[in-house]
Structure 1
Amino acid sequence: MRNNLIFTGIEEDNTTGNEPPAVTENKLRAFLQERLKIAKEAVDAMRFERVHRSPSHPVTGKVRSVVAKFAFFKDREVVRRQWPELKGMPFNVFEQFPSEILEKRRRLVPKMKEAKRNGKRAWIAYDTLYIDGRPVSQ
């Protein structure tokens, strides 16, 4: 999962029952260019091991997330650094984490928000909360 990103809000074509991975990859490449403002040459050079919709059955009116496994961590980081371009848009990009890590992060979010309300710098990196540059023990 280290090289995976999850993209939400990218339209899905369910007319044939399920969108083929090649179509999903083309839509993702267009999204990277148009919405994240990454140069066409850079997007064309990116290699994916796999691009697919989240595993569930398509539901009319709902759009499943796109899971992209980048072949190179460097490409994933180029995309990840462009997240601010999506501010105010109905799209989002997330790192994919194992369920144990997601649960740990969920428990840390209230502590992080409290620290920010108190005027401190706080962030979560993987499964560790940092306040004013120091890791906080769980």
Structure 2
Amino acid sequence: MEGTDIHAAELAERVQELEKERSTLWDNVSYQQSQSMRNNLVFTSVPEANGNGNETPETTEAKLRQHLVSAFKLTEEVATSIKFERVHRSPGMPLHGKVRNIVAKFTFFKDRDMVRKRWKELDGTAYRVFQQFPPEVMSKRRQLVVKMKEARRLGKRAYLAYDTLYVDGTPVRT
């Protein structure tokens, strides 16, 4: 009987070690995914060329460049000079009354950041732009946004960086 109890305790300890290792590996995979997405921005509410879901990547890229000029107030020359590795609509068929988002992978981080920092040009419009993150990171960020808004309401300086909330320079994680 004692041998069984000892063996069960060893197995329980091993399971704990494996769960900890799995969690670490999952965090690493999530980080790798976010690194592969770090040059991506997601643009919302940009109308599609047609409603049947077969807009070509070239058409999507042209629509995005026009959107950068009209909504982000970039000059035609700047919008044309931006290089993309890939521009596509979110997967799936468009739903009636809904417009699929555009996901753009910028070749140069500098271009991506320049566009992202012009988000205030979108105030008062239906358009939005945001960074793309893996689902696990988005889930953490959603939880932290509530805490960030509360900290700001209390007059503190709060912002999100990846999956960490900083309040007055101190990191707060979920």
Q: Which stretches of structure 1, 4 residues or longer, exceed 4 Å deviation after superposition?
A: none
Q: Which residue of 1 aligns with 2:85?
A: 49
Distance 1:125 1:17 in 2: 34
Which residue in the other structure is 1:136 paired with? 172
Structure 1 segments unaligned to the other structure (5+ residues) = none
TM value normalised by structure 1 = 0.94
Secondary structure in 2 matching 1:10: coil
Distance 1:74 1:120 in 2: 29
Residue of 58, 63, 67 corresponding to 1:27? 63
- Secondary structure at 1:5 match in 2: strand
Deviations along 1:79-114, one digit per CA (max 9) or x if unpaired, are 011100000100000100011111111111111111
Query: Rg bigger for which structure?
Result: 2
* Aligned-partner Cα distance in 2 for 1:23–1:77: 23
Aligned-pair CA distance for 1:133? 2.0
- 3-state SS of the aligned residue for 1:79? helix
Q: Say if 1:7 and 1:93, in contact at 8 Å, map to a contact too.
A: yes
- Of structures 1 and 2, the one scoring higher in RCO (CA 8 A, sep 6+) is 1
Give the whole-Å Cα distance in 1 for the aligned partners of 2:128 and 2:165: 22
CA contact (8 A) 2:156 2:168 kept: yes
Offset of residue 59 of structure 1: 2.1
Distance, in Å, in 1 between the alignment partners of 2:51 and 2:44 is 19
Letter in 1 for 2:147: K
CA shift digits 1:35-89 (9 cap, x unpaired): 1011211111111111110001122321100000111111101101110000010
Q: Whose strand proportion is higher, 1 or 2? A: 1
User: Are 1:8 and 2:44 matched, yes or no?
Assistant: yes
1:15: how far off? 5.0
Q: Normalized against structure 2, the TM-score is what?
A: 0.75
* In 1, Cα distance between equivalents of 2:146 and 2:118: 26
Task: Name the structure where helix makes up a greater proportion of residues.
Answer: 2
**Structure 1 residues 17 and 102: alpha-carbon distance in aligned structure 2, compared to 1, 3 A threshold:** closer
Aligned AA for 2:72?
Answer: L
SS of 2:121's partner is: helix
Unaligned runs of 5+ residues in structure 2 are: 1-36
Superposition deviation, residue 34 in structure 1: 1.1
CA RMSD in angstroms comes to: 1.3
- Match for residue 37 of structure 1? 73
Q: Which residue of 2 aligns with 1:80?
A: 116
